[in-house]
């Protein structure tokens, strides 16, 4: 396989890189609001532009970034000593996504997927990134960053975002694909997706759920961001013809009616920028949160009144229907000023949950109990 050491930064819109170019703010856990009994602490505030997170077999927390172009490894998060942050890759092109599989760390790039082999054996002297999947669809514009994850089938799932606010790109863009760990046997999973920056699988059912960010420039209150579920391969979720399941696009809506597409499982709110999501399988949090879907809302950037900038919890009814989101962690903004932007969530084996914040360059830990955490 070819190896690379540096991948040059590509073109992205100013809006896309907003969180990377905004002056970094200090984390303010004193401003965060959580339900009674919950606590938030700072694990580290030395993780510039922190985005997707994944846990290695030995407890290392790997973190991707966007404008920073780096990948980080955090050790000591499980309580085995002081937390240490290492930069294990630099100079990459929007390496937002990280996925751990059989000891290897897979990292997303605008046009390829690279891997750091046996990474937890080499944290102090990381291997060069090895290309496992090249020539991913790319067009200069928006949404070329990728949240990646391995599914229960041991295949790597990769979203291919639309290179625009709204445009008709057929099935080349606006989809989710999967592939073997070595990059072979690429398959289309779902279409009609503007920009998914979070996907996960429900324990027990194996159903894939993903977030999708709605288009801009239709006003403050429409269209909503979506929570979607994939029941069969090849489903289409409407973009660019239909938004939130029932709103025809002003430019493309006359080409295909909303009735042709799979509607969202849940509407999350306009411009909240729903990103990373994970199911909570622990028992530390109270019973109503068991089995819930935790979602990081990065927050709006062009709404007249900010929305999002919080972490929400989505519970499920007896028939597995998602219920309206409940705010779990808020306070990342004060009025019209945001000091933090949640990008991902990661429940840990001890029942706590990590939250990444790419604006403050911080990782937080959410716990529940009588005493606040010591670190």
Q: Cβ(42)–Cβ(50) under 8 Å?
A: no
What's the CA gap between 25 and 6, in Å, rounded?
28
| Residue where the block lists tokens 């219920």 | 323
If you average pLDDT over residues 158-187, what whole number do you get? Answer: 97
Indicate the class that CATH gives domain 29-368: mainly beta
Residue 374 has pLDDT above 80, yes or no: no
Residue 1 has pLDDT above 80, yes or no: no
Q: Can you give the pLDDT at residue 19? A: 39
Percent of the chain with pLDDT over 70: 92
Residue 141 has pLDDT above 80, yes or no: yes
Percent of the chain with pLDDT over 90: 90
**Where does the pLDDT of residue 66 fall: very low under 50, low under 70, confident under 90, or very high at 90 and above?**
very high
Nearest to 66 by CA among 95, 23, 97: 95
Q: Cβ(342)–Cβ(26) under 8 Å?
A: no
What's the CA gap between 197 and 192, in Å, rounded?
14
Q: Residue 20 — φ and ψ, nearest 5°?
A: -80, -30
Q: Would you state the structure tokens that stand for residue 22, as one six-digit string?
A: 């905004």
**Where does the pLDDT of residue 81 fall: very low under 50, low under 70, confident under 90, or very high at 90 and above?**
confident
What's the CA gap between 263 and 252, in Å, rounded?
17
pLDDT tens for 196-246 read 999 999 999 999 999 999 999 999 999 999 999 999 999 999 999 999 999
What's the CA gap between 319 and 302, in Å, rounded?
37
Residue 248 has pLDDT above 90, yes or no: yes
Residue 154 has pLDDT above 50, yes or no: yes
If you average pLDDT over residues 2-24, what whole number do you get? Answer: 38
- Looking only at Cα atoms, what is the longest distance across the chain? 60
- Map out the domains of the chain as residue ranges: 29-368
pLDDT tens for 261-293 read 999 999 999 999 999 999 999 999 999 999 999
What's the CA gap between 263 and 90, in Å, rounded?
40
Q: Can you give the pLDDT at residue 17? A: 42
Q: Can you give the pLDDT at residue 88? A: 98
Q: What is the pTM of this model?
A: 0.93
pLDDT tens for 23-58 read 567 899 999 999 999 999 999 999 999 999 999 999
What's the CA gap between 160 and 138, in Å, rounded?
8
More confident of the two residues 16 and 332: 332
Q: Cβ(162)–Cβ(142) under 8 Å?
A: yes
Q: Would you state the structure tokens that stand for residue 209, as one six-digit string?
A: 């759920």
> Of 7-21, 160-174, 233-247, which range is least confident?
7-21
> Of 20-24, 33-37, 89-93, 131-135, which range is least confident?
20-24
- DSSP per-residue string spanning 185-201: S-EEEEE--S----EEE
């Amino acid at each position: 396989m070819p190896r690379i050491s540096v991948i040059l930064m590509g073109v992205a819109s100013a809006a896309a890189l907003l969180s990377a170019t905004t002056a970094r703010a200090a984390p303010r856990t004193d401003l965060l609001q959580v339900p009674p009994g919950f606590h938030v602490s700072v694990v580290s505030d030395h993780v510039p532009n922190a985005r997707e997170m994944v846990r290695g077999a030995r407890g290392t927390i790997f973190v991707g970034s966007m404008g920073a172009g780096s990948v980080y490894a955090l050790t000591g998060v499980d309580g085995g000593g002081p937390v240490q942050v290492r930069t294990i890759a630099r100079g990459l092109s929007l390496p937002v996504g990280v996925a751990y599989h059989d000891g290897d760390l897979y990292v997303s790039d605008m046009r390829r997927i690279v891997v750091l082999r046996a990474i937890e054996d080499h944290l102090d002297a990381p291997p060069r990134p090895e290309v496992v999947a090249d020539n991913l669809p790319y067009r200069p514009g928006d949404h070329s960053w990728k949240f990646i994850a391995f599914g229960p089938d041991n295949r790597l799932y990769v979203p291919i975002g639309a290179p625009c606010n709204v445009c008709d790109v057929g099935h080349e863009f606006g989809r989710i694909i999967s592939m073997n760990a070595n990059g072979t046997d690429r398959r289309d999973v779902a279409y009609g997706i503007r920009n998914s920056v979070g996907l996960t699988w429900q324990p027990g059912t194996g159903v894939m759920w993903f977030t999708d960010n709605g288009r801009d420039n239709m006003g403050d209150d429409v269209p909503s961001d979506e929570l979607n579920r994939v029941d069969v391969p090849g489903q289409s979720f409407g973009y660019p013809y239909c938004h939130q399941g029932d709103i025809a696009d002003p430019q493309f809506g006359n080409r295909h009616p909303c009735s042709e597409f799979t509607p969202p499982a849940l509407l999350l709110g306009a411009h909240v920028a729903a990103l990373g999501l994970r199911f909570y399988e622990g028992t530390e949090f109270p019973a109503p949160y068991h089995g819930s879907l935790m979602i990081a809302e990065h927050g709006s950037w062009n709404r007249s009144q900010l929305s999002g900038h919080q972490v929400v919890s989505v519970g499920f009814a007896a028939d597995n229907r998602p219920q309206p989101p409940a705010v779990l962690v808020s306070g990342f903004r004060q009025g019209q000023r945001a000091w933090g932007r949640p990008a991902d969530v990661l429940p840990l084996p001890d029942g706590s949950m990590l939250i990444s914040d790419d604006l403050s360059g911080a990782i937080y830990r959410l716990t529940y109990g009588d005493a606040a955490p010591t670190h």
